[in-house]
Structure 1
Amino acid sequence: MKNRVIDNPYIQNFLEKSLFIIILVLILATAKISSAITAINSSNGSINSMKSQIAYSNNKLDDLKKYESSMKNTSWITYDMWMKGCASISNIYIYDTTNKLKLLSEKPQDQLDKFSKDFKIETAGNTYNNVVKFIIIDKSKGTFITNDIANFDYIKANLKTFSAENGDLFNYVSNKGKWYNISYNSDSAPANRYNSNYQLINSTNFVEAYWFPKDYNYSKDDDALLNGMLDEAKKDFTTSNDASNKYIEELQKNIFDYKISIVFYSIIILILLTSIYFLGKERIIRALRYNFVTNSIRAINNWFERRGSLFKISVFIIFTSLSLFMIVGVLIFYHSINSSSLLIASTIVLLYSIVIFPKIISYSRYIDDIIRGISKITSGELEYVIDESGDKALSSLAHNINKLNKGFKVSIEEQIKNEKLKSELVANVSHDLKTPLTSIINYTDILLREDISEEEKEEFLKIINKKGLKLKSLIDDLFEISKITSGKVELNKHSVDVVELIGQSIAEYSDTELYFDKHLSFVFKTFTSKIEMDLDGSKMSRVFENLITNALKYSLNETRVHVEIEEVKKGIKISFKNISSSPLDFDKEEILERFVRGDRSRNSDIDGNGLGLAIAKSIVELHGGIMYLDFDGDLFKCIIELYY
Structure 2
Amino acid sequence: MDTKSKSDEKKLFKFSKILSPFILIFPLILLLLLYGFISSLHRTYNTIQNTTSSLDDMTRQLSSIEDGNDNLSISYDLWIKEFATNTNIDIYKNFNDLSLLSQKSQSELNDLSKKFSSNNEDFLYNNLVKYIIIDKSSKTFITNDFENISSISQNINSYSIENGNLFNYIHSMAQWYYITYDSRTSPTAKYSTYSIMNANNYVEAYWLPKEYKLTDESKPILSKLLDDTSNNIKKSISVNESFLNSKKDSLRFLIIVAVILGLLFIANIFIIYKIGIRNLINNLKSSYIFRSFKAIKLSFQKRSTLFKLTLFIISMCANFSIILILYIGYGYRYIPSPLALLSLIVILFNFISVIPDFIKFCKYLDLIIKGADKITSGNLDYMIEEKGDKKLLSLAENINKINKGFKVSIEEQIKNEKMKSELVANVSHDLKTPLTSIINYTDILLRDDITEEKQTEYLNILNKKSLKLKTLIEDLFEVSKINSGKVDLNKTNVDIVELLNQSIAEYSDTEIYSSKNLTFLLKSFEPIIEMNLDGNRMSRVFENLINNTLKYSLKDSRVFVEIEPSKNGIKIFFKNTSSIHLDFDKEEIFERFSRGDKSRNSNIEGNGLGLAIAKSIVELHGGIMYIDFDGDLFKAIIELHY
| Normalised-by-shorter TM-score class | 0.3 to 0.5
In our comparison, the structure showing a higher alpha carbon Rg is 2
Normalising by structure 1, what TM-score? 0.46
Normalising by structure 2, what TM-score? 0.46
